[in-house]
Amino acid sequence: MIGPRYTPLVDSLPATVPFVGPETQERRMGHPFRARLGANENGFGPSPRAIAAMAAAAGEAWMYGDPENHDLKVALAARHGCKPGNIVVGEGIDGLLGYLVRMLVSEGDAVVTSRGAYPTFNFHVAGFGGVLHPVPYRDDHEDPDALIAKANEVAPKLIYIANPDNPMGSHHPGQVLADMAARVPDGSLLVLDEAYVELAPEGTEAPVDPDDPQVIRMRTFSKAHGMAGARVGYAIGAEPLIRAFDKIRNHFGMSRIGQAGALAALGDTTWLAYMRRLVGASRDRIAEIARANGLMPLPSATNFVAIDCGGDGAFARRVLEELVAAGIFVRMPGVAPQDRCIRVSCGPEPEMMAFAEALPGALLRAR
C-alpha cells in the first residue's frame, strides 16, 4: 500500500515551524509563564467596544462571516482615504502573506528581504519554492537602499520590508519608504509590512498611493488593536492586485467574530490613542529596567523593545533562556549582529515587575 504522493516541492520542505508558541513552552516546563512578553502581543487588550462586539457576535457564530468583508472594508477605506476595492481582508498578515507569495512566487523565483527580518514571510517564500536573497541590516535598521540594490540585481517578484521593523523596533520616516517605493524595479512588488505603524511616531506611515501597482501594504488588528487571537489583517494595494486575491483566497476563511471585533475596534479611536500612550509608557518602562541592569535598550517605534545585552548572540541566548526558566516569555532576533539583543514586548505593570525581578538573576546566571 503506497500512501499519498506529495508534490516534489512539499516533499523537499523541512518540518520547521516559524515560531514555537508560548503554550508549547509552558507544557514543556510544566507551569505557565509569569509574564507573556515574547510575541509582541498587546497585553493591554482590545478596546472594550471590540470585546463587547466579539462577545455579542459569539451568539451569532452559527453564521459564516461575510466572505466579502464588506462592512470592514468600507470602514477601512474611509480610514485610509482609498476605495474598498483597494483593500483585502484576511486571516492576519500571516495569512495574507501566504496568499500573496502564492500569487507571485513560482519555484526558483527570487525574493528580496533583510537577513533576520520576519521569519513567517520566509516560511511562505520557502513553501512556494522561492529563493530568498537577504541583505544585511544597517545599524539595526532595514536598509531600503540595499534592498533596492539587491532587487536591481536579482529581479525579484517581491521585496519585503517592515516599517517599523520587527524584531529591532527601529523605523524610517514614511517618506523614506515612499522614496523606496518609487525605485522598485519593473516587475517587482514592494511588500510594506506596517503591522506596528499605529504605534510609531507621526510621519511613519508611508505616503504611498493606494493605486501604486508596485506596492502592497500590510496592516493588522493584532498589535495596536490588541486582537492577535481574533486573526484579522488587511492589505492595501492597487485594485487589480487586490482582486487577484479572490482567485485563491479562502473566501469563507474569516471568523465572523473577528470581523465584528475589528469593525468595533476601528471605530474606537479614543482607545487607540490611549493605547499609544500606554505602549509608549511601557516602552519607557522596559528601557528603564534594561538600563537599571546595565543594558542598552534600542529606540522603538513598536510595542516591544530590543535590548542589547552587551555581548554576542550566545550570551543573549543564555539571558533569554534564563528569563524563560524564570517564567518570563521573551524572544530574540535570529541572526547576527541583531542577535546580541533580546526582544521584550510591552505589557501591563505586573508583567513589567515580573520582568524587572527576573532580569538581574538571569544576567548573573548567563555570565
Binders of a second copy among 240-279, rule CB under 8 A? 240-241, 243-244, 246-248, 250-258, 261
217 binds a second copy (CB under 8 A): no
List binders of a second copy among 288-347 (CB under 8 A). Answer: none
- Whether the CB-CB separation of 90 and 233 falls below 8 Å is answered with yes
Minimum distance of a second copy from residue 120's CB (angstroms): 8
Instruction: Find the binder of a second copy among 35, 37, 65, 144 (CB under 8 A).
Output: 65
Minimum distance of a second copy from residue 310's CB (angstroms): 30
Instruction: Find the binder of a second copy among 28, 30, 31, 63 (CB under 8 A).
Output: 63
Instruction: Find the binder of a second copy among 29, 32, 55, 281 (CB under 8 A).
Output: 55
154 binds a second copy (CB under 8 A): no
Distance CA 351, CA 132 (A): 37
Pairing of strands 296-297, 304-308: antiparallel
Burial track 184-196 (b if 16+ CB lie within 10 A, e otherwise): beeebbbbbbbbb
Pairing of strands 296-297, 233-237: unpaired
- Whether the CB-CB separation of 151 and 112 falls below 8 Å is answered with yes
Instruction: Find the binder of a second copy among 150, 157, 331, 343 (CB under 8 A).
Output: 157
Minimum distance of a second copy from residue 344's CB (angstroms): 16
Minimum distance of a second copy from residue 365's CB (angstroms): 28
- Whether the CB-CB separation of 330 and 324 falls below 8 Å is answered with yes
Minimum distance of a second copy from residue 175's CB (angstroms): 20
Instruction: Find the binder of a second copy among 73, 84, 98, 362 (CB under 8 A).
Output: 98
Look at the block and give the residue holding cell 509552558. 26
Choose between 1 and 367: whose C-beta lies nearer to a second copy.
1
Cα of 130 vs its chain's centroid, Å: 20
Instruction: Find the binder of a second copy among 80, 115, 127, 308 (CB under 8 A).
Output: 127
List binders of a second copy among 180-199 (CB under 8 A). Answer: 186-189
Minimum distance of a second copy from residue 258's CB (angstroms): 6
**Of 75-83, 102-110, 136-144, 170-178: span binding a second copy (CB under 8 A):** 102-110
DSSP result, 78-126: HHHTS-GGGEEEESHHHHHHHHHHHHH--TT-EEEEETTS-HHHHHHHH
List binders of a second copy among 16-45 (CB under 8 A). Answer: 16-19, 21, 23-24, 27, 36, 39, 41-45
DSSP 8-state assignment for residue 306? E
Instruction: Find the binder of a second copy among 113, 220, 222, 300 (CB under 8 A).
Output: 222
DSSP result, 192-230: EE-TTGGGSPTT-S----TT-TTEEEEEESSSTT--GGG
